[in-house]
Structure 1
Amino acid sequence: MNHHDGKIVEMTRFPSPNPNVELRVITYLSHGLKVKGMLAEPIGEGVYDGFLYLRGGIKNVGKVRPARIAQFAAEGFIVFAPYYRGNQGGEGNEDFAGDDREDAFAAFLLLKSLPRVRGVHIFGFSRGGVMALLTALEYPETASVVTWGGVSDMSLTYMERKDLRRMMKRVIGGTPQKFPDRYQSRTPLYSLDKLTAPVLIIHGVNDSNVSVEHAYRLERRLRLLEKPVDCWYFNEFTHYFPPEVNRKVVSDLSKWMKSRPKRC
């Protein structure tokens, strides 16, 4: 890895929806590319747990929302959410958990280097689920991982989401039948024996964007390997939870993260 990864190149203030949270847009280095992301910090003194927020979607679908980032910062975290390469003025091209995982790795290092951050938790939503697991595998010091409506198996996404197949063939370079290794390299299920961080899986059973089968596969594999895992399944919900439930789950998962044993 390029030792400059995670280095901050530029910071600009961004209007915050929450008076207790300060937002900045950060340009940082990821394997030599200048990519962008959003940093949210609680205003005032003090040291906080770091929270790496890995978004879902691709390009303009699933963009980082300032209100969402501020919501997690208000729970008492310093939050950084990479936009991934090629987005919102960043260099390079996003490639759906291929080389753009470097942007998550560099973002982890960036958070870790901030003087007010102690320990880094990783949160992934939707396709951010694979990004979160891949990042936790790269950094054994990860405090915890939460995957919410998260993808765990890239071939399964290809099978389920007919509407994404053209994009996936273009970005990944073909189908899972033709290039199984390319899909496997984007699927963390095969390397979970090396995972050290405790995992929390959150999933709506009626999710049609990312089927609950992704969560079940991840849970089964973690249990088989006797890794620490908690699962919160919501029978009545889809990929998106109603606002009041969402707020409650954000609060609960924040408590779950903070109650994990502290690691170096």
Structure 2
Amino acid sequence: MEKAVDGKIITMETFPSPNPDIGLWLITYMSGGLKVKGLLAKPLEGETFDAFLYLRGGIKNVGKVRPARIAQFASEGFVVFAPFYRGNQGGEGDEDFAGEDRLDAFSAFQLLKGIPGVSHVHIFGFSRGGVMALLTALEFPESASVVTWGGVSDMSLTYVEREDLRRMMKRVIGGTPVKYPERYESRTPLYELERLVPQVLIIHGVHDDNVSIDHAYRLEKRLKELGKDPETWYFDDFTHYFPPAVNRKVVKDLCAWMKRQAK
């Protein structure tokens, strides 16, 4: 029997869309031998688009993909795909916080590349998705751009900052960063950024208490040390979540920034 390749779509079911101009589909696709799930959004008018890989934050039911958010990005003129990650919402396997589940992001990138009419693939990560976005950009140097918004860049720093996540992280990653530093380093793209090709945009609220601004500063500092010039949008008045009106403007601005990188 022929082996299903990563990124191959197995099933595609119509999903209710909050926007009449945007189509939504629930996708089952292959990733590392597992059938995992995700949400695809596409403008109903037009033939050629840039693609937008949306990498969610959280774990399990925290930070789930929201259809309205995916449709919001699609309405800016992108084909958007947001993997749920393995073990979630009917997908096979177990999510492991930027461990093997990074393959679900890699396979999602391949899925987007295979969609007819897609020219460039951009990568976006929110919160924990920031790590996933950087790891994916390292895997695919042809990425058109990468954006992290309130993004994690250092997994050990997350362990130190988030006492409420320590039990989960010890269980999923397999110990503490003091006892098993290599397990946390393997989930920390800061150590591999010399291989990063696409332009980076860092968006962060200075008063973020879910993912501290230090994650953004560490990412910016390391990129600059390597002679790369990231763009940074720091917001002095905001936390992990921006007010709706500001959020909408930042979405429009970052989408326009992405399209400029593709040119």
Give the structure-1-normalised TM-score.
0.98
Partner residue, 2:47: 46
In the alignment, residue 39 of structure 1 is paired with which amino acid?
L
Partner residue, 1:150: 151
Partner residue, 1:56: 57
| Aligned 1:178-257 pairs, distance under 5 A | 178-257=179-258
- Any idea what the Cα deviations from partners look like across 1:58-97, whole Å, max 9, x if unmatched? 0000000000000000000000000000000000000000
Tell me, in whole angstroms, the C-alpha distance in 2 between the residues paired with 1:18 and 1:118.
24
In the alignment, residue 175 of structure 2 is paired with which amino acid?
G
Tell me, in whole angstroms, the C-alpha distance in 2 between the residues paired with 1:181 and 1:225.
22
Structure 1 residues 86 and 217 mapped into 2: Cα distance closer, same or farther (>3 Å)? same
Determine what percentage of the aligned residue pairs are the same residue.
Answer: 73
Tell me, in whole angstroms, the C-alpha distance in 2 between the residues paired with 1:227 and 1:41.
32
1:45 Cα deviation after fit: 2.8
Tell me, in whole angstroms, the C-alpha distance in 1 between the residues paired with 2:227 and 2:80.
30
1:228 Cα deviation after fit: 3.0
| Matched residue count | 261
Give the structure-2-normalised TM-score.
0.98
Segment drifting more, 41-50 vs 187-196: 41-50
CA RMSD of aligned residues (A): 0.9
In the alignment, residue 101 of structure 1 is paired with which amino acid?
R
Tell me, in whole angstroms, the C-alpha distance in 2 between the residues paired with 1:169 and 1:201.
28
Structure 1 residues 69 and 261 mapped into 2: Cα distance closer, same or farther (>3 Å)? closer
Tell me, in whole angstroms, the C-alpha distance in 2 between the residues paired with 1:12 and 1:55.
21
Partner residue, 1:16: 17
* Structure 1 unpaired stretches of 5+: none
Tell me, in whole angstroms, the C-alpha distance in 2 between the residues paired with 1:90 and 1:46.
30
Partner residue, 1:125: 126
| Aligned 1:66-77 pairs, distance under 5 A | 66-77=67-78
Tell me, in whole angstroms, the C-alpha distance in 1 between the residues paired with 2:260 and 2:43.
19
Do residues 140 (structure 1) and 159 (structure 2) align? no
- Any idea what the Cα deviations from partners look like across 1:162-208, whole Å, max 9, x if unmatched? 00000000000000000000000000000000000000000000000
* Structure 2 unpaired stretches of 5+: none
